[in-house]
Amino acid sequence: MDKKTRKSRKSLTREKIINLLKEKKTALTHKEFQDFFNNEVDRVTIYRALDFLVEEGKLHKVVNLEGGIQYALCQTCTHEKETHSHNHVHFSCLKCNKTTCLENVTPEIKLPKNFETTDIQILISGICDKCNE
Amino acid sequence: MDKKTRKSRKSLTREKIINLLKEKKTALTHKEFQDFFNNEVDRVTIYRALDFLVEEGKLHKVVNLEGGIQYALCQTCTHEKETHSHNHVHFSCLKCNKTTCLENVTPEIKLPKNFETTDIQILISGICDKCNE
DNA sequence: GTTTATGCAAATTCTTTGCAATACT
DNA sequence: AGTATTGCAAAGAATTTGCATAAAC
């Protein structure tokens, strides 16, 4: 169904996804949702719920350095759909494996003459503050 | 076979891959190689040749904003394997669809306290200089 | 009652593995 | 001759599609 004309209803799966993301405070892959839900939710349902939430602007996709897709609940992203911006940094810790948004890091990138930026995605892998003691 | 002990031989597929990348001057996906080779080369062979070249350090993987994997021939990357670094910018033009390395752009990213960087990948999509007139 | 959300089966696509044949050195 | 490369078949993983049932409004 078309995104525009569709009327959404209460969906247990979508609620579970949002709640899990709030609890874990990290971006998760489709497989991880499946595992956390103990396979009680059909994978197709998870695929569809994730797509729905991305379309709605509640989640966004994060691509990790290996090309794997994770879904994140970004504070700054969830509010205003129009100014929905991704030029912040996604950090993936090699130790605890958590992927998070570094909301406050806003890098400056000077492009050569005549290049125009539409979207930026920055992926950093390394050790996060919690694992680095 | 192990990367270390292997002795490489002349490979038509690998040559074709390198030549195509030099000609196109853009990062390509596995599928694009297949198409450009008119399916004359088996896809498995392409997979293996690409892996080989990445291991050898001749190519590197670029993950695009949708999670698709492309293979690029970066000037700065091809030479010294040890200093092989990816913290430069990959630019993907929305008009001509070419993905290129902006070799000279070296952004400064200040991470919060106690974060340690191992690898950075920066993807920018927009309009490239050639399309922007 | 109508439309959305879900589950199951199956189709499709992407990638990897095994093995025999071929080609390079 | 010995080993790396290639092609083919097939296995395996990831994702999508179709349709019937269940749930929301």
Q: Decide if B108 and A107 are in contact by the 8 Å CB cutoff.
A: yes
Pairing between β-strand B89-93 and β-strand B69-72 as defined by DSSP bridges: unpaired
pLDDT band at A80 (very low <50, low <70, confident <90, very high): very low
pLDDT band at A35 (very low <50, low <70, confident <90, very high): very high
By C-alpha distance, the chain A residue nearest B63 is: A67
Q: Decide if B119 and A128 are in contact by the 8 Å CB cutoff.
A: no
Closest by Cα among B75, B102, B105 to B90: B102
pLDDT band at B79 (very low <50, low <70, confident <90, very high): very low
By C-alpha distance, the chain B residue nearest A119 is: B125
* Contact (CB, 8 A) for A121 and A92: no
pLDDT of B55 > 70? The answer is yes
Q: Decide if B115 and A132 are in contact by the 8 Å CB cutoff.
A: yes
Which residues in chain B touch residue A117, judged by CB atoms under 8 angstroms apart?
124-126
Specify whether the backbone of A47 is left (phi greater than 0), alpha (psi in -120 to 50) or beta: alpha
3-state secondary structure of A93: strand
pLDDT band at B33 (very low <50, low <70, confident <90, very high): very high
| pLDDT score for B5 | 61
Closest by Cα among B94, B92, B99 to B59: B99
Average pLDDT (A1-16) is: 82
* Contact (CB, 8 A) for A127 and A94: yes
A52 touches strand C (CB under 7 A): yes
* Contact (CB, 8 A) for B63 and A63: yes
